[in-house]
Amino acid sequence: MKKRNLFWCVVGLPFLVSTAAWSQASTGATEKAVTALENQWAQAQRTNNADLVAPLLDDNFVQTTGAGTVTTSKAAALATAKAEKFASMEYIDMKVYAFGNTAIAIAGFHATGTDASGKAFDETGRFTDTWTKMPSGKWLCVASQDALAVK
């Protein structure tokens, strides 16, 4: 009995070590991939180019703004993005956490510009974005929520 247990320990240990190493490498790759997508989103805002953010959003994308407005489609979110004009956008201390085929990105932000009605804004706050790896292997943002700092 002891020989059989020793056999399985010797055979199983390399498998467990390689699985743990693969999992950690996979998590690092996920964090890098989602960070790059978040940076593309920020670039879309900086350049007022909603076409850069369009491929990042799921068709059923849900967004809750700092003002409490909820949009429940990619089309609605893109319409808002096209109507806003950013003068500046900065992400602060972004972190991405991976959970298998889901990743959560959080960061602070500071943005200035004009909203859809032409009213100037100067906002500071935090956001949480939820990303899902689709069966095609592509990461899409499925939900986003902003929380504005109280002035």
User: What does the pLDDT look like over 39-73, one tens digit per residue?
Assistant: 999 999 999 999 999 999 999 999 999 889 999 99
Q: pLDDT band at 2, cuts 50/70/90?
A: low
Q: What is the mean pLDDT of residues 27-33?
A: 90
Which is more confidently placed, 151 or 102? 102
pLDDT at 139 over 90: yes
Which is more confidently placed, 77 or 7? 77
**CA–CA separation, 82 vs 31, rounded Å?**
28
120: domain CATH number?
3.10.450.50
- Is this model's pTM higher than 0.85 or not? no
**Could you tell me the residue range of the domain that residue 22 belongs to?**
2-148
Q: What is the reported pLDDT for 27?
A: 60
For residue 8, with 0-12 CB atoms within 10 Å meaning exposed, 13-18 middle and 19 or more buried, which class applies? Answer: exposed
Q: What average pLDDT does the chain have?
A: 87
Q: pLDDT band at 22, cuts 50/70/90?
A: very low
User: What three-state secondary structure class fits 137?
Assistant: coil
DSSP secondary structure letter of residue 56: G
Q: What is the mean pLDDT of residues 126-133?
A: 98
Domain count, the chain: 1
pLDDT at 97 over 50: yes
Q: What is the reported pLDDT for 150?
A: 82
Q: What is the reported pLDDT for 24?
A: 43
Q: What is the reported pLDDT for 84?
A: 95
**CA–CA separation, 36 vs 42, rounded Å?**
10
Radius of gyration of the chain (CA): 20
Q: How far apart are the first and last CA of the chain?
A: 69
